[in-house]
Structure formats: C-alpha cells, structure tokens
Structure 1
Amino acid sequence: MQKENVIIKLDKFDREILRVMQRDATVSMAELSQHVGLSHTPCWRRVKRMEADGIIRQKVTLLDAKKLNLGVSVFIYVTLKNHDGDSLTKFENAVQDINEVVECHTTSGEKDYLLKVIVQSIEEYELLLKTKLTSLPLVDHISSTFALKQVKNTTALPI
C-alpha cells in the first residue's frame, strides 16, 4: 500500500538503485545489484520496498517525439473565469481527455494552469486550440508559447 505524504528516508544504496533505474528501467536485478554493490536478494528487497512505498511508481518506455513526427512543443498558460473548487475540478477533469496535453500543472500568480502540449505542427496546434482548448470548462484566457529548441530533456529526478 502506498504511503501518502510520508517522507521516506533513503540511504546511499537506495539512491543509487533509483539513479540506475531512472536511466534504464529494464536493467536486470543481477546487473543492478552488481552496479550498486549489493548482493541480489538485498537489492531485490530494496526495490520491492520502494515499489510498495510508492517511490517507484511504474516502469515506462520513453519515446522519441521527433522520430514520431511530434516535434512541436507548446507551453500554454490558462486563466479560468472562476476559482471555486467545482470549476477547478471541471477543468482538471476535462484536460485528462485531451491526449495532446502531456502535462498540466496548477500554478501560483496570475495564471491558473500551465499545460504542455505536443503536436506534429503549428497547424495541428491551431486546430487543437480552436476545437478543444478554448472549449475547456470556464476558460477565460489562453496564452501560448512555442518551444524553439529543447536544451535539456530528462525524466530523472535529482536524487
């Protein structure tokens, strides 16, 4: 069972296990244990404990967006008309149904949300904007910024 809002203490072996697994989730337990300097069973126990604690949420395959012809990244600030709990929930639920939205963050300050959208082209983004984004519940204002170049891309957390 995943422990919510509990800070879990990690030692140097746990952190090294996580570093290795962030680089390559397909690493075998034998390779992982050898890399971190533990025998197979203690290494396996640590991985299983971190999975049970929710530190390791899932193992995924990362795709190359450009090779899939998804080379346009757009960052979108959204401001809502209302800020009551029901309005926020309606917006957040509606965003879940738009596949092109790969990230959605609530933000502080003047804007309510920051979305990251990945599409094939500017034309595809324009269509998405007109048909889906402006139709999201209670949207007051949308401001889009196109990424020109990705300088850094990592999914690894700084542990």
Structure 2
Amino acid sequence: MKNHRIDNNPNFKESSNSPLIDDLDKDIINALVIDARISYAELGKKFKVSPATIHVRVEKMKKSGIITGHKLTVEPKKLGFGVCCFIGITLKSAGDYPEVLERLEEIDEVVEAYYTTGAYSVFTKIYCHSIEELHWLLVDKIQSIEKIRATDTIISLQNPIHRAISL
C-alpha cells in the first residue's frame, strides 16, 4: 500500500504552482524513476493504456517541466571518490551569492549547491578522492574565494537512504 505523504497530511495545501497531474501521470513518473529505459509499450501494458497515451503523457510532462530529462547514475566510490562531504558556506554579504556561485561552478568536485536559509547561505555537496584532496580543495579553492566569510565541513560516513521523491 502506497503512503502518500500529501494525501495523508491534513495540513497540506497545494501551492498555486503545483502541477495538475493525475494518478496515471504519477504512476508513469514512479515507473520511470525506477527504470528510465522502460518502453512506452511496457508502461502501456502495465497501466492498461496504449503506448501512444504514455507517449502523450510523457511529452506533456516534459513540456510543462515536470520531467526534465533522463540521467545515468554512477557509484562515486567505485570511481575512486572515497570522500563525500557537505560544506556549509557563510557569505560576507547576501549580495555576494551570484559571484560565489559562479566560482563554485568552476570547481568540478562540487556536485550540488543550494542557496539556503539558516546558518549557511550556501550548502554544497562535494566528492573527493581522499581527505588530503578535501583539505587542498578547502584551502586552495573554496576558502580562497574572497566573498566567503567561513565554511563548515561535514563528512558523510554513509548514505543509507537514497531515493527519488514519492508521488
């Protein structure tokens, strides 16, 4: 039995920018999240609709920006990236965000960055080969960005929950 957080939450109010999708759209998304290579024919058979219906629904969701692409995922540790960490970044001024983001985009080891509220202005996810490489990255690349006031590094020990959103 599916546990729909939103459906079960009496405090949830759909925002004005929430897309209107029905149960078939949700089922298609959930199936594609599990296997993005599944054919429209297989999806049609699974959901008892024609492959053309699946195609039209997927194209509609692409056009509306719900589906933004298909991507390959890799296991960083298998490629030698043994250190995953998160770096909370405090900026000298909120106005420094665009320039700092531009500089962070130039650093290959930064795989995700978020503009946040709270203690940090920016929160990044980093993959490195070693602690020594992380040290070099912090000192020579990140902390040397003039508009950064301070950083706080959190090293991930494991990633026991890794999933896409559930619809």
Q: TM over 0.5: same fold?
A: yes
Counterpart of 1:158, as a letter, is S
Structure 1 gap segments, 5+ residues each: none
Structure 2 gap segments, 5+ residues each: 1-15
Q: Deviations over 1:16-62 (max 9, x none)?
A: 00001111111111112122221111111001110111110010000
- SS at the partner of 1:145? strand
Question: TM-score w.r.t. structure 1 length?
Answer: 0.90
| Counterpart selection for 1:158 from 147, 158, 166 | 166
Question: TM-score w.r.t. structure 2 length?
Answer: 0.86
| Counterpart selection for 1:100 from 82, 94, 109 | 109
Which residue pairs with 1:73 in the alignment? 84
RMSD: 1.3
- SS at the partner of 2:59? helix
Q: Deviations over 1:83-115 (max 9, x none)?
A: 22xx11101111111111111111212221111
Moved over 6 A (4+): none
Question: How far did 1:150 drift?
Answer: 1.3
Which residue pairs with 1:50 in the alignment? 61
Report which structure shows greater RCO (CA 8 Å, sep ≥6).
1
For residues 22-61 of structure 1, the aligned pairs below 5 Å read 22-61=33-72
C-alpha distance in structure 1 between counterparts of 2:57 and 2:113, whole Å: 32
Count of matched residue pairs: 152
C-alpha distance in structure 1 between counterparts of 2:135 and 2:106, whole Å: 18
